Structure 1
Amino acid sequence: MARKKILSGVALGAAAMLLLSGCATGGSGDSGATDGEATAGGTLKVLANGDVDRLDPQLTAYVPVNSVVRSLSRSLLNYEASNDVDERIALTGDLAEEVPVASEDGLTYEIKLREGATWDAPDGARPIVAGDVARGIERICNPHIGAALGGYFINLIEGMNEYCEGFAGVAAEPAAMKEYIESNDIAGIATPDDQTVIFTLVEPASDFTSMLSLPTANPAPIEVLDYLPDSPEYRENFVASGPYTVGSYTPDVKWEFVRNESWNADSDPLRKAYVDKIEMTMGVEGDAAMQQLQAGSADMLFDLSPSPANIQQLTAANDEKFTTMENGGIDQFMWFNTATTNNNSALQKLEVRQAIQYAIDKPAVVQVMGGEDIAAVTNGIFGPGINGYEDFSLYGDKSGKADPEKAKALLKEAGVENLTLKFPYRNVGTQPDIAQTVQASLEAAGITVELFPVPPTDYYANFMTNRENASSGEWDVALVGWSPDWVGGAARSVFQPQFTFDGTPQSYNYVDFNSDKANELADQALAAATPEEAGKLWHEVDKTVMAESPIVSIVSRKKANYHSDRVQNFQIYALAQNGDWANVWLKQ
């Protein structure tokens, strides 16, 4: 996530503004090419290293899990699976008949639900109604497990902040939580009839419709209130609305998703559901997974991607089953710990942070990550594909090449000598090599670097997000990754969770960085009348943040995908950054 996320954020972009640049193929053909007509049947075999973060749609925040949610649960708004960049980022109706348009003041959105969409309820198929939409939003701030992406909604929908404050005082038990939800409403959600939902916001937000594509906003059936959110009991009694449902589950070993017999294909414009069953096998390492896909004993990947070595081989072989896509994320930021007094508080000096900007050899990191086919130098908080991204640099030229002499000169001007930096890194994949490459850059500028490994499962969850580690000086600089939470105008989901602070600490703003000027520009971007106007304002946000140098932006990495020869119609589902399980079919 940081989260999700690079493994893949929380709070402001504009609908349909994300201009992703290309799903390039390793070969000359189209990975989505098909062999004959669509064929129903068979078992799609998916390989994973780890399990889902959450099965409960309201609570998930891990990008790969969007493949699971897409198959089991329907959203208000969503995206077509497509290898055409413009098509796959165009917001469209899922449960909603169409994408709603804001009222003249920008505060109200009215949604009409489709006829025929149903829950796979224990007592038989039951229509999905407006009250289910309200219930889903109400579950976001439950006191047992709050939704990771809930802040987007809590601070935006009228009355939701007050609703959540009340919910916080409720015992984290099913009966108490059910009573609160059934006895209290969010002022900004009206359901005048079963087919109509009206949202009222506290301020204009041009990206609100994009937020409604997140699983966090999915409707919830009444049955879920009988269980703790995402508990084993919840998972055992999962109520599906998509074409598949849970067949069986062995934690950290295997998921089996089988056809949902209550699903009405005529009500679903986005999912064809060709395969009969989806099996996700966990605990598989990357190289072993690639071998199975190439041998045809498995079909697709969940949280795994081809390694740099794999990518080199697949590219050389012109393998058309290998594809890449830009996702708007930046895989390598380097945060400065401005909360520590290490080195006589040197990192609190802007000149010292600027010196380090010049010291890092970004093209060298690109090469470690697999070369220019998979990675690119970045110099701002937004990656390629986000509305607001522009290729610029406040520190040196845009190539990102190191200038150690400039770095040394700035350190001398700041009166800083013998700078020694504590530098944690994840001891997984290419992260040790990346850390060593950055270390070499800094040492060339006369900066001593003390590298130390942190287990990847602890890095975000227990080390970086533990604020005492920053204040006590356990680290000075650290590498993290980030990708946006949705497609469309996604700048909010990069800026708000990392670069704003309103007095309440955010997990991934490690040092409570805040810029009043950037916040003001972001507000203007959210209220902009056109994507073009918003993009210009978000670029000003980017420049404003980078002028204060809270991070070094180093590299963006394209998402790499690979699949077996059996898989046909491999079309990208943008939220999952992968082929759409609900639309592939298998060569028989």
Structure 2
Amino acid sequence: MTPQKRLMVPLSLFAASAVLLSGCAIDTGNSSTPTGEAQKGGILKVGSNGDNDHLDPALTSYVPTQNFIRATNRQLLSYEASTDENTRIQVKADLAEEVPEATNGGKTYTFTIKEGANWDAADGPRQIVAEDVVRGFKRLCNPYRSSPLLGYFQTLLTGMDEYCAGFAKIEAKPEPMAKYINSAKLPGVRAVDERTVEFNLKEPAGDFIYMLTLATATPAPEEVLDYLPDSPEYRENFVASGPYTVEEYTADKSLKLVRNEAWKPETDTLRKANVDSIEMTMGLSADAVTQQLQAGTLDMSFDTGLAPSVAAQLAAAKDPDFSTVDAGSVNPFLWINVDSPSNDGALADKKVREAIQYATDKASVVQTLGGEAVAKVQNGIFGPGVLGYHDFDLYPTEGHKGDPEKAKKLLAEAGYPDGITLKMPYRNKDIEPQIAQTLQAGFEKAGIKIELIPVSPTDYYTEFLVNREETKAGKWDIAPMGWSPDWQGGAARSVFQPLFTYNGTESTYNLTNYDNKEADKLAAKAVQEPDAAKAQELWAQVDEIVMGDSIIVPVAAPTTRLYHSKRVQNFQPYALATQGDWTNVWVQD
């Protein structure tokens, strides 16, 4: 797990800084209700601990960076910022004139780019064209630094495997890379005419339109070929398509965005661009950001959040500037190491794994996270806000507190009347030790002794979870981890495929090569199903099959806790950033 990447996020980030994904759970105040008419002008002041991971949209996978991308770049499709969950996860046209229906048996999507949607090119505003869309996708597998989300598109786009194989042979310098991009064909993305672009897929994919909302799918202006991706030269010559562009940037220190004069508001129904500029100050602690938000010297946070105790106080006080949204994640869940030789290979026995399910005190973990105002009990592999999430529990216990006696009975039936001992590593940072101790206390009531192993966050995955030799040697038996989808709405593919599929080749995060062909078949149908309701039913079946195998124990679904200064009006969360949308708030003194 790499901290705060969209795919996997440490539980401590939910507990202490809470910056993740999706949905809408509890709105504890009325921060979304503006006071008076929208006001133009002013400076939106943003406080941050760290920097954007990248300014180049092809390379970013960091959740907070999505607000920067939203402000400076446009995609064919995107989301409307909203406090309403259903509105927030509906795909809307951005650069495209409309959201198209698939043709050719669900394998072809054709888009027309809005006239007047421009780049702020050095020689003046320039229409964004279909070739810019093609160029954006061609850059994804460049040999210098490929996109972290390349796999989704390489899997689907016709001819992209071959295109990327050819690109891998090219020298990682601007000139040869530009020559390859300009000459090699990518059949999966084709410019039909100046403003019409066509996508051709290997197979139907009902979730493809959701993928096109990603920063990864951003068109690329011709100027980017002069520089290595996200290089200092790229950043110095930044070309924007959104309502703001970069005026000043010092890595890890500060960022200033100002209005992009080439942007035409009549072409953009998703961004109102109320403030004149956005200034981000980096290097601040989470506590410092919170204090400045309360004082009004900052307006919004970037990558920091609220400690559970502070969030609980604000929720209890019904502070109008505090709200929460579902994170779309499951964090923590416990991965059960079926390959471990511990206890004579007990974890390979499904009854033993079911005993672990019943022994887990989920309610106490939720309380440790800050209570039901900021987290909820989780029972499946898909978090709230993901198509496939539904309310079910294959291992029910009263109040979700666990059932020690049932767990003991299952252990005895499996041949372990005296219980078992399990090794559980945990990250020795922030609230993680308390979570580990809470789990330990619940397990020991059921006769499951837990040996806690503190591990640095840096080593947690490399030395334990994704290290196959250590996994098979039984260096760990159960381990808490977290996962979040890469996009919103129809995002079940981005949970199921990396975690729960095995095609004969080990994947990083399917820790024990879990493989269920029935689930695979249903998932294959689900990703091709264009009807969202039918896809929901299929993914729900997948969820129940995986949970029936008891390979993981979902524990909690934390919400993202949002807080802003009193100056901020029209605070509407943007799905991909799980933060108020920079491009739609306004400031009022």
Normalising by the smaller structure, the TM-score range is: over 0.9
Q: Secondary structure at the match of 1:488?
A: coil
Contact 2:315 2:373 in 1 (8 A): no
Q: Deviations over 1:263-300 (max 9, x none)?
A: 22222221121212212222222222111101101011
Please state how far the C-alpha of 1:225 moved relative to its aligned partner: 2.0
Q: Look up the match of 1:452.
A: 453
Change (3 A) 1:122 1:568: same
- Larger mean CA deviation between 503-512 and 320-329 belongs to 503-512
Change (3 A) 1:6 1:507: closer
Please state how far the C-alpha of 1:314 moved relative to its aligned partner: 0.5
Please state how far the C-alpha of 1:458 moved relative to its aligned partner: 4.7
Q: Look up the match of 2:513.
A: 512
1:431 pairs with 2:418: no
Please state how far the C-alpha of 1:512 moved relative to its aligned partner: 2.4
Q: Write the distance in 1 (CA, Å) between the matches of 2:31 and 2:419.
A: 53
Please state how far the C-alpha of 1:52 moved relative to its aligned partner: 1.8
Q: Deviations over 1:309-354 (max 9, x none)?
A: 1111112222011111123221211112234334433322222222
Please state how far the C-alpha of 1:529 moved relative to its aligned partner: 4.9
Q: Look up the match of 1:442.
A: 443
Q: Secondary structure at the match of 2:140?
A: helix
Q: Look up the match of 2:17.
A: none
Q: Look up the match of 1:395.
A: 395
Q: Look up the match of 1:82.
A: 82
Pick one of 2, 6, 9 that aligns with 1:7: 9
Q: Deviations over 1:104-143 (max 9, x none)?
A: 5111110000111111223332221111101111111222
Q: Write the distance in 2 (CA, Å) between the matches of 1:186 and 1:23.
A: 41
Query: After superposition, where does 1:133-532 map in structure 2 within 5 Å?
Result: 133-397=133-397, 399-416=399-416, 419-460=420-461, 464-532=465-533
Structure 2 residue identity aligned to 1:4: R
Q: Deviations over 1:391-431 (max 9, x none)?
A: 21222348432112222222233334663323222233322
Contact 1:77 1:96 in 2 (8 A): yes
Q: Look up the match of 1:24.
A: 26
- Larger mean CA deviation between 448-457 and 276-285 belongs to 448-457
Change (3 A) 1:206 1:246: same
Q: Deviations over 1:481-516 (max 9, x none)?
A: 122222221211211121112234333222222221
Change (3 A) 1:546 1:238: same
Q: Secondary structure at the match of 2:198?
A: strand
Q: Deviations over 1:69-107 (max 9, x none)?
A: 101111110111122222222211111111011015111
Change (3 A) 1:246 1:4: same
Contact 2:382 2:543 in 1 (8 A): yes
Structure 1 residue identity aligned to 2:532: P
Q: Write the distance in 1 (CA, Å) between the matches of 2:553 and 2:60.
A: 29
Q: Secondary structure at the match of 1:178?
A: helix
Q: Write the distance in 2 (CA, Å) between the matches of 1:335 and 1:227.
A: 42
Structure 2 residue identity aligned to 1:24: I
Contact 1:378 1:400 in 2 (8 A): no
Q: Look up the match of 1:533.
A: 534
Q: Write the distance in 2 (CA, Å) between the matches of 1:377 and 1:32.
A: 26
Task: Give % identity.
Answer: 53
Contact 2:464 2:476 in 1 (8 A): no
TM-score, normalized by length of structure 1? 0.93
Q: Write the distance in 2 (CA, Å) between the matches of 1:321 and 1:6.
A: 28
Change (3 A) 1:339 1:253: farther
Change (3 A) 1:454 1:174: farther
Please state how far the C-alpha of 1:463 moved relative to its aligned partner: 5.3
TM-score, normalized by length of structure 2? 0.93
Q: Look up the match of 1:99.
A: 99
Structure 2 residue identity aligned to 1:487: Q
Q: Secondary structure at the match of 1:140?
A: coil
Structure 2 residue identity aligned to 1:524: K
Contact 1:42 1:586 in 2 (8 A): yes
Change (3 A) 1:58 1:499: same
Q: Write the distance in 2 (CA, Å) between the matches of 1:415 and 1:361.
A: 23
- Larger mean CA deviation between 102-111 and 359-368 belongs to 102-111
Q: Secondary structure at the match of 1:44?
A: strand
Contact 2:24 2:385 in 1 (8 A): no
Structure 2 residue identity aligned to 1:247: E
Q: Write the distance in 2 (CA, Å) between the matches of 1:32 and 1:361.
A: 35
1:59 pairs with 2:81: no
Q: Write the distance in 2 (CA, Å) between the matches of 1:409 and 1:50.
A: 49
Q: Write the distance in 2 (CA, Å) between the matches of 1:504 and 1:131.
A: 36
Contact 1:55 1:230 in 2 (8 A): yes
Contact 2:463 2:470 in 1 (8 A): no
- Larger mean CA deviation between 288-297 and 341-350 belongs to 341-350
Contact 2:23 2:89 in 1 (8 A): no
Q: Look up the match of 2:562.
A: 561
Q: Look up the match of 1:546.
A: 547
RMSD between aligned alpha carbons?
Answer: 2.1
Contact 1:465 1:507 in 2 (8 A): yes
Change (3 A) 1:526 1:552: same
Q: Write the distance in 1 (CA, Å) between the matches of 2:143 and 2:177.
A: 8
Change (3 A) 1:528 1:80: same
Structure 1: where are the runs of 5+ without partners?
9-19
Q: Deviations over 1:249-275 (max 9, x none)?
A: 222222222222322222222112121
Change (3 A) 1:439 1:195: same
Q: Write the distance in 2 (CA, Å) between the matches of 1:305 and 1:376.
A: 18
Q: Write the distance in 1 (CA, Å) between the matches of 2:342 and 2:232.
A: 45
- Larger mean CA deviation between 113-122 and 555-564 belongs to 113-122
Change (3 A) 1:102 1:140: same
Change (3 A) 1:465 1:142: farther
Contact 2:397 2:403 in 1 (8 A): no
Q: Write the distance in 2 (CA, Å) between the matches of 1:562 and 1:550.
A: 36
Q: Write the distance in 2 (CA, Å) between the matches of 1:425 and 1:511.
A: 18
Q: Write the distance in 2 (CA, Å) between the matches of 1:314 and 1:89.
A: 26
Q: Secondary structure at the match of 1:155?
A: helix
- Provide the aligned length of Structure 1 versus Structure 2: 575
Q: Look up the match of 1:125.
A: 125
Structure 1 residue identity aligned to 2:362: K
Q: Secondary structure at the match of 2:453?
A: strand
Q: Write the distance in 1 (CA, Å) between the matches of 2:221 and 2:402.
A: 55
Please state how far the C-alpha of 1:457 moved relative to its aligned partner: 4.7
Q: Write the distance in 2 (CA, Å) between the matches of 1:45 and 1:585.
A: 11
Q: Secondary structure at the match of 2:400?
A: coil
Q: Secondary structure at the match of 1:453?
A: strand
Q: Write the distance in 1 (CA, Å) between the matches of 2:587 and 2:390.
A: 40
Q: Tell me which stretches of 4 or more aligned residues in structure 1 moved more than 6 Å.
A: none
- Larger mean CA deviation between 297-306 and 233-242 belongs to 233-242
Contact 1:5 1:63 in 2 (8 A): no
Q: Write the distance in 2 (CA, Å) between the matches of 1:63 and 1:530.
A: 28
Q: Write the distance in 2 (CA, Å) between the matches of 1:367 and 1:92.
A: 37
